[in-house]
Amino acid sequence: MLPCSQAWSAPTQQRFKDWLVTCNNQNFCVTRNVGLHYGLVMTLSRSAGAVTDASLRIELGGTGNPVATLAPIAPRCCWMVNRCP
């Protein structure tokens, strides 16, 4: 019989350009972007099996708030109403 520390190995990780893929010993894998994407984080996950669905999660976050640096929406949309404030 093996001790618990030897029976389960650590999750496996591999990086492909700006994607990090992690798979564990319970037949579950997750990948997410790790590059600079203006706070946008995309995560794909899937369990093993022929009839298992994949999950996609898109989040806007990060250390800064990129939305706060955008101009208010009214000046950017004045072409839609043919007048600017």
pTM of the model: 0.55
Cβ pair 30, 43 in contact under 8 A: yes
User: What are the pLDDT digits (tens) for 10-58?
Assistant: 778 899 988 999 998 788 899 999 887 777 889 999 988 888 889 999 9
**pLDDT bracket for residue 70 (50, 70, 90):** low
Count of structural domains, the chain: 1
d(CA 31, CA 48): 14
pLDDT of residue 30: 92
Query: What is the amino acid identity at position 30?
Result: V
Could you give the CA distance from residue 72 to residue 64 in angstroms, rounded to a whole number? Answer: 18
What pLDDT was estimated at residue 56?
93
Domain containing 55 equals 4-81
Q: Is the pLDDT of residue 3 over 70?
A: no
